Structure 1
Amino acid sequence: MLEFYKENQNAILRYSSEGVAPHWLYPKLRSSEVVKISKVFNLTKEDLISNIEQYDTLGAVEFKIATLSGDYYCFPKQILNLDNDLYVHKSIELNKKLFIAERGVSIFGKLDNLVSTSIFLGGENENSIPKGVFEKLQRDFPNSYELNKYASARVSSIISSYIELGDDHEEKYQTYMNNKVSLKGADLNSQFAKFEVQKYNSLLEKLNYMLENEIAYSEAQWQKELLQIILLIYPKYIHIFKEAPVRDTYSNTTKSIDYLLVDSSGNIDIIEIKKPFDKCIVTSRTYRDNHIPLRELSGTLMQIEKYLYFLNKWGKKGEDYLTKKYESKLGVNFRIKVTNPSGIIIMGRTDGMSFEQKQDFEIIKRKYKSVIDIITYDDLLERLRYTVQRWTNTSPKS
């Protein structure tokens, strides 16, 4: 049995075996051996404050384990088998649970393995562990039930290929851990929400301004301005290369792609940007009850499909060529990959279309969805509005 109390600026450990002195200690202490109590405390004759000559009459044996230094009780590192001394604030109650977890695991021993300086618990020291945080650590420390489940899960994972098991111990362990309160980090959404609201509001205002003043932009300047928005809406892309080459292996000529997108993994896609003419998506009249793609849309689709076809046929030679060509921008160890590239088309407005036109346009979009994403400027506006709303709802209320 372990008991702790404070006396004359010392912390005392009182150890007994069902109310009587543990006789096994004294021969070891007399021979100056280190005695280990509860697998955690390493004590010697110098730490003993009981009379070693009267152990037959004692009900317990007592050791001095710490001395008050300022506002902290200092536990010498050798007593707890640590690399550094332990300092416990004088306001904190000393008890067995403070030092020992289930199965005789030393709590401060585990902490000592993770740090390189002395451990301070409680009080005002700038490097101290707050009392509340340490109490949470005690509650979350693995218990016997958890350790048994973990052991069963590890063993069953090894032998399950050879022996049919009665229970799925891995699943039981994961279910237990999922139900247990886990570590909770900072809420990053809340931290960055106000900045995201500001960013996407700015993009929304810029796009609205561009659409209201479209006539004032040249085609080249329009594309340049819009690409800034695209890179922020699609952050996976890290580079855009203008007039990128692609080899037509059939005619043995080199074509020029308006804009080549490169993502952080080196995969490439194509983007085509057209100014938002009022009528360039689907016909206003129907052909056999269908609104069909106008020349501007069907021509852009055909162009993208050809470029994608050329890129896929170019294969590894194309990867090597493009990697070498853009090495100065991407870095020596960065490699461009042609892995089923896809296309993005940004053009036209759906504002002003009839319900039937929008419905037929949606069918056209879905037909190409696996390869080409057709986005109108109204789609972009809607995406930005929803993004602003999402971050506004996430932002902490002041």
Structure 2
Amino acid sequence: MALRFEDRLGRGVVLEYEPENWDARWVWAKLRTEGRVRIAKVFHFDRTDLLGELPSDDDFENIDGFVYRFRFGSRRAGFRVIEGKRLGITHNVRIADALPLERRLFVAHRDMSIFRGLSAVMPTGGEIVIGGDEDGSIPIQEFERLLTKFPTTTELNRYARARVADVVGQYVDGMADARRHYEEYMNRHKAIGATGSLDTEELLEAELAKYQLIRDTLRGWLAAAEVRVERDWQQLLMKFLLLIFPKYVAILENVQIADVYSTPGRARRRFIDIALVDAAGNLDVIEIKRPRGGLLAGGDYRENGFPSRELSGTIMQAEKYLFHLSKWGLDGERALTERYAAKLPPGMSIRVTNPKAIVILGRDPTGGVGGEQAVDLEVVRRKYANVMDIMSYDDLLRRLDNVIASLRSRIDEETDI
């Protein structure tokens, strides 16, 4: 199909549509029988939007490449204004004159609607504004960046809202704005560093802002957990791991280790997604899964809860990594130190000495922290306590809440002095 925009000053915007490889009458048939038609799965028009005269049914037989012309938008103060109904959304759209109208602004891979994705993450009411300098508008360059990042068909359900919010959230009120909190923290942090003296209260305030940012960001992600996959959660938590677990000084990704046991007589390569190195050089493993479901299975065995399939599988995976690391010995320590020297503090060597694992996955058991399932989960945790720390995302939030509460208490004490 061919889509073109007639965009003339003072005359509004017209969308021209020329069907290709189809009988051109199908559009007119839709308008005549249903009173509306959808073009390219994105543009919605009523019969009253159709401009110009139509040929008779007999004349259609002799027309090659008939072009339909629809009223698409109006003009106002340097913008093209498009009613939301013409894009199948509730928000009206304003696009600055500086951005030429093209199909790619509206239609993504396989006829996905760009503005439907935007509308899904926008606050109720108001307009979607592209360009200009008014509050809440999305800069043209950021909108162009969104077009390059818009998901493919297979990614749509998982990523669309998350990616759109990440790209334009800093420009639109009412959307998650973790970046603003981060910038406020950084501004405060820089201001403190510029002073001649540092008092304890200012340092604690900076620490408080930092942990509030982490907690609020994590809560925001958990509120829409279904749109993100495991790798997204790994990337998010890796930004915060050294703050949440201050004993560690380095994060290593995609760590290659040797497996000399699975296939006798031949070493195999295995890869640990994320490993942590503490201040003494000791290497530990961390497994980060999606916050999907609980840590215990839905049923019970003789009134006892038992680990869910995902928790059992993650524990086994972590134990195998720890096993192969321990068996690799001095050769493994030398290989890892050489491979990751650039990510370690100067002069540090990696040591594999009774490595531990941290497992982060799932949500709290049914009934909360005081329910019967919580007791069963604690039994599972204690069973593996010597080799790994098992926590849910709710455990992580509680840990952050406790740190924040402690910092606030210390700030209050400093204020009273």
Q: TM-score, normalised by structure 2?
A: 0.48
Q: Choose from 282, 285, 291 the match for 2:296.
A: 282
Aligned with 1:356 (options 354, 357, 372): 372
- Distance 1:351-1:212 versus aligned 2 partners, 3 A rule: farther
Verify the 8 A CA contact 1:260 1:269 in the aligned structure 2: yes
Of 258, 270, 273 in structure 1, the residue corresponding to residue 273 of structure 2 is: 258
| Residue type at the aligned position of 1:304 | A
Residue 353 of structure 1 and its aligned partner are, at CA, apart by 3.6
Q: Secondary structure of the equivalent of 1:305?
A: helix
Question: Residue in 2 aligned with 1:397?
Answer: 415
Q: CA contact under 8 A between 1:278 and 1:349: conserved in structure 2?
A: yes
Looking at structure 1, the residues matched to 374 and 346 of structure 2 have their Cα atoms a distance apart, in angstroms, of: 47
8 Å CA contact 1:351–1:378 kept in 2: the answer is: no
2:254 to 243, 246, 256: 243
> Equivalences for 1:203-222 in 2 at 5 Å?
203-222=214-233
Between 325-334 and 307-316, report the one with greater CA deviation: 325-334
Per the normalisation by structure 1, the TM-score is 0.51
Superposition pairs for residues 1-398 of structure 1, below 5 Å? Answer: 190-250=201-261, 251=263, 252-279=267-294, 281-330=295-344, 333-350=347-364, 352-353=366-367, 355-395=371-411, 396-397=414-415
Deviations 1:20-78, CA, capped at 9 Å, x for gaps: xxxxxxxxxxxxxxxxxxxxxxxxxxxxxxxxxxxxxxxxxxxxxxxxxxxxxxxxxxx
Hey, what's the Cα distance between the residues in 1 that align with 2:259 and 2:235? Answer: 27
- What's the offset of the Cα at 1:351? 5.6
**Structure 1 residue matching 2:305: 3-state secondary structure:** coil
Seq. identity, %:
40
CA distance in 2 between counterparts of 1:331 and 1:276 reads 33
The Cα offsets for residues 350-391 of structure 1, whole Å up to 9 and x where unpaired, read as 164461111100100011111100011110111111111110
Which residue of structure 1 aligns with residue 91 of structure 2? Answer: none
Answer yes or no: is the 8 Å Cα contact 1:189–1:394 preserved in 2. Answer: no
Structure 2 distance, partners of 1:234, 1:259, is 14
Distance apart, 1:208 and its partner CA:
0.4
Separation of aligned partners in 1, 2:308 and 2:228: 23
Deviation at 1:319, TM superposition (A): 0.2
- For structure 1, the 5+ residue unaligned runs are 1-185
Alignment coverage as a number of residue pairs: 212
Q: CA deviation at 1:203?
A: 1.1
Partner AA of 1:258 in structure 2: D
Q: CA separation in 1, counterparts of 2:365 and 2:383? A: 21
Could you tell me how far 1:288 is from its partner in structure 2?
2.1
* Alpha carbons of structure 1 residues 331 and 376: separation in structure 2 relative to 1, 3 Å: closer
